C-alpha cells in the first residue's frame, strides 16, 4: 500500500499512544487502534486496562457494557471479563468457560498511555521514546494539556508532512513560514537511533519571539537558530521552534530564550485514518497558564491546517497513485529516508 511495498503498512511491534491520560477514566471508551477495536478504562486502583473491544459471544461492543469493580460485564448477555481478560462469569453456567479475552500491555507515562499491540513477549517498556531527550514531563520543562486530532488519511502522509518542512512557508504562513525557511540548507544525520534533519537559519527578533518569550527577552541584531526534526520512529516525531544557538554581539544566549519542542504522536487507526496527538514542551515561562492556552490554541490551528491537507490528499490518493508515480525532489530527502526505515521494519516483521 502506498508508499510501502506490500499490503501491510503498520509496524506492529512498537509502543503507540492509545490515549492522553485524561481520556481514560472509569467510563470505558472504545477506540480503533491498528485496525482493532480496543476497550480502554481504568481499574479501581487507577491503572489503565486495554482489552479487545468485542465480546466473543455475539461480537457485541464491550463499551456498551458496564464495569463491575475491575471487570467489564457485556451489556448483551452478561458475560464478564476481569481486567486480565479472563472470563469469570457466564449466566446459566457456573464457570467462565476457561475463555480469556485478549488484553494488551499498557504503560502510563504522563501525559500519555502507551499500548503494545504486537507480540506481547517483546513489549519492553524501555523501548518507549525517552522523555528526557524531548523535554516531556521533565524537571524544568512544562507543556499544555495534549490535543488529540483525527486524520482521514494514512499515517505515512503525516510523517511525510513532518519530514518536509518546506510546507511551513506555504500552509502555515501565519507562523512566519518564510521562503528563507523553505530554502534553508538542511543537514541530515543518523544518531542515537534517530534520524534528524536540521535547518540552520539566521533570523532577527520577530513577532513570533514576542509571542513565545515576551518583549522583555528581546535581543538586537541577528541570531543563529536551528529548527530540527527528529524521527524517533513511526509513532513519534519532534520538531523544534527556532532554537537560538547564538546572537551576534552577545557572549551567551540569554536564559529566557529556552528551547521549544513540538511533539507529533502518531497512532494508526485504520489503513486510511490516524490518531494524531500532540503538545508543545518548553523550558521557559514555566508557570504561565495564559501561555499554555495560547500555545495550545496556536498548535491546534497549525495542526488543523496539516490535517486538512492530508485529508484532501487521502481522498484522491488511490486513483492518483495508480495513474502516475509521484514526483520526488530534493526536499523529499528526509521523507524518503524515513520511508526506507519503516519499510525495513515492515520487512523484518514479515520475515
Ligand atoms: S454478546 Fe456479550 S454476552 Fe452475548
Ligand atoms: Fe505542518
Confidence of residue 168 (pLDDT cuts 50, 70, 90): confident
Q: Is residue 1 part of a domain?
A: no
Q: How far does residue 271's CA lie from ligand 1's centre (Å)?
A: 28
Take residue 71 and report the three cell numbers written for it: 471487570
Query: Do the Cβ atoms of 84 and 101 come closer than 8 Å?
Result: no
Q: Rounded distance, CA 329 to CA 234, Å?
A: 22
Nearest atom in ligand 1 to 55's CA: 2
Kindly give the distance from the C-alpha atom of residue 62 to the centroid of ligand 1, in angstroms, as a whole number: 8
Q: How confident is the model at residue 176 (pLDDT cuts 50, 70, 90)?
A: low
Please check whether residues 149 and 166 belong to one and the same domain. Answer: yes
For 69-76, which contacts have Cβ atoms below 8 Å and span 24 or more sequence positions?
69/44, 70/43, 70/44, 72/28, 72/39, 72/41
Determine, yes or no, domain membership for 5.
no
Q: How far is the CA of 60 from the centre of ligand 1 (A)?
A: 6
Q: Are residues 264 and 209 in the same domain?
A: yes
| Pocket mutation for ligand 1, best pick of 64, 74, 101 (most atoms within 8 Å of C-beta) | 74
Q: How confident is the model over 30-70, as pLDDT tens digits?
A: 999 999 999 999 999 999 999 999 999 999 999 999 999 99
**Same domain as 299, residue 188:** yes
Look at phi and psi of residue 214 and say left if phi exceeds 0, alpha if psi is from -120 to 50, else beta.
Answer: left
- pLDDT band at 208, cuts 50/70/90? confident
Confidence of residue 180 (pLDDT cuts 50, 70, 90): confident
Rounded distance, CA 50 to CA 72, Å? 11
Q: How many domains does the chain have?
A: 2
Q: Both 149 and 30 in a single domain? A: no
Q: What is the Å distance from ligand 1's center to 79 Cα?
A: 6
**Same domain, yes or no: 287 and 140:** yes
Q: Is the whole-model pTM more than 0.75?
A: yes
Predicted pLDDT of residue 183? 80
Q: Which of 184, 212, 178, 179 is nearest to 199 (CA)?
A: 184
| Residue 60, ligand 1, Cβ within 6 A | yes
Q: Is residue 141 part of a domain?
A: yes
Q: Are 183 and 217 in contact (CB under 8 A)?
A: no
The CATH number for 56's domain is: 2.102.10.10
In a domain, 4, yes or no: no
Residues 117 and 140 in one domain: no
Say if residue 138 is in the same domain as residue 98. Answer: no
Report the percent of the chain where pLDDT is more than 90.
88
C-beta of 55 in contact with ligand 1 (< 6 A): yes
Ligand 1 near 63 CB (within 6 A): no
| pLDDT, position 175 | 67
Ligand 1 pocket mutation, candidates 28, 51, 60, criterion most atoms within 8 A of CB: 60
pLDDT band at 177 (very low <50, low <70, confident <90, very high): low
Structural domain including 36 reads: 15-122
CATH of the domain at 281: 3.90.380.10
Amino acid at each position: 500500500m502506498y508508499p510501502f511495498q506490500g499490503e501491510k503498512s503498520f509496524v506492529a511491534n512498537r509502543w503507540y499512544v492509545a490515549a492522553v491520560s485524561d481520556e481514560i477514566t472509569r467510563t470505558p471508551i472504545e477506540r480503533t487502534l491498528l485496525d482493532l477495536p480496543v476497550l480502554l478504562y481504568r481499574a479501581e486502583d487507577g491503572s489503565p486496562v486495554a482489552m479487545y473491544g468485542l465480546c466473543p459471544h455475539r461480537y457485541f461492543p464491550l463499551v456498551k457494557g458496564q464495569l463491575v469493580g475491575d471487570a467489564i460485564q457485556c451489556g448483551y448477555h452478561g458475560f464478564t471479563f476481569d481486567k486480565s481478560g479472563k472470563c469469570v462469569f457466564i449466566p446459566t453456567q457456573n464457570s467462565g468457560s476457561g475463555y480469556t479475552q485478549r488484553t494488551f500491555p499498557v504503560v502510563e507515562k504522563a501525559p500519555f498511555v502507551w499500548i503494545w499491540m504486537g507480540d506481547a513477549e517483546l513489549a519492553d517498556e524501555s523501548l518507549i521514546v525517552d522523555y528526557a531527550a524531548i523535554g516531556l514531563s521533565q524537571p524544568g520543562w512544562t507543556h499544555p494539556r495534549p490535543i488529540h486530532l483525527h486524520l482521514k488519511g494514512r499515517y505515512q502522509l503525516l510523517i511525510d508532512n513532518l519530514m518536509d518542512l518546506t510546507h511551513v512557508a506555504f500552509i502555515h504562513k501565519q507562523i512566519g513560514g518564510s521562503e528563507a525557511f523553505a530554502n534553508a540548507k538542511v543537514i541530515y544525520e543518523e544518531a542515537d537511533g534517530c534520524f534528524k534533519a536540521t535547518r540552520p537559519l539566521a533570523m532577527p527578533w520577530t513577532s513570533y519571539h514576542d509571542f513565545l518569550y515576551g518583549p522583555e527577552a528581546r535581543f538586537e541584531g541577528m541570531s543563529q537558530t536551528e529548527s530540527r526534526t527528529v524521527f524517533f520512529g513511526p509513532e513519534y516525531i519532534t520538531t523544534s521552534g527556532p532554537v537560538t544557538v547564538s546572537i551576534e554581539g552577545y557572549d551567551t544566549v540569554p536564559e529566557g530564550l529556552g528551547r521549544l519542542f513540538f511533539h507529533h504522536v502518531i497512532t494508526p487507526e485504520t489503513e486510511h485514518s490516524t490518531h494524531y496527538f500532540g503538545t508543545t514542551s518548553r523550558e521557559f515561562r514555566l508557570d504561565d497558564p495564559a501561555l499554555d492556552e495560547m500555545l495550545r490554541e496556536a498548535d491546534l490551528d497549525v495542526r488543523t491546517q496539516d490535517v486538512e491537507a492530508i485529508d484532501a490528499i487521502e481522498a484522491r490518493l488511490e486513483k492518483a497513485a495508480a495513474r502516475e508515480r509521484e514526483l520526488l525532489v530534493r526536499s523529499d530527502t528526509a521523507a524518503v529516508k524515513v520511508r526506507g526505515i519503516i519499510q525495513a521494519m515492515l520487512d523484518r516483521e514479515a520475515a
